[in-house]
Amino acid sequence: MLKTILLIGSGGFIGSVARFYLSKINLYIQFFSIPVGTLLVNVLGCFIIGFLTGIAEQRTILTAEWRLFLMVGFCGGFTTFSTFANENLMLMHNGLFPSILLYTGLSILLGFLAVYLGFNLANTIL
């Protein structure tokens, strides 16, 4: 059990730090007032987890330990749904309702597309 906790925790640590740095893009890019860095993190996280799922289904190269580290730990720490929800709340407080719809729609559409592309890429190259 301790090994599992350490695998997930270390993956989550790395994912959280990566998210922190990528989310800084919010400071530099403005697109209809939506948090571009968080959108990028969520879409990239969806792609990564889709790719890993594709690998896990096709090959035995991704052991149970690596799945815990990468999918539960890294992707869990990297993706930012709670931040996404809070940023939508801030957009709502600022009266930016069209931005809420755009940000939510892009997150869902691009997130699903990224999972799909990652999954298919894994199936194509393996």
Residue-wise pLDDT tens digits, 48-75: 999 999 998 877 888 999 999 999 999 9
Q: Global pTM?
A: 0.84
pLDDT score, position 58: 79
pLDDT score, position 101: 97
pLDDT score, position 30: 85
- 3-class secondary structure, 31: strand
Question: How large a percentage of the chain has pLDDT more than 90?
Answer: 84
Tokens of residue 11, six digits = 């993956």
**pLDDT-based confidence at residue 83 (cuts at 50, 70, 90):** confident
Sketch the domain layout of the chain as residue ranges: 2-125
Average pLDDT over residues 8-19: 97
pLDDT score, position 113: 97
Q: Using an 8 Å Cβ cutoff, are 52 and 122 in contact? A: yes
Phi and psi based region of residue 33 (left: phi greater than 0; alpha: psi -120 to 50; beta: remaining): left
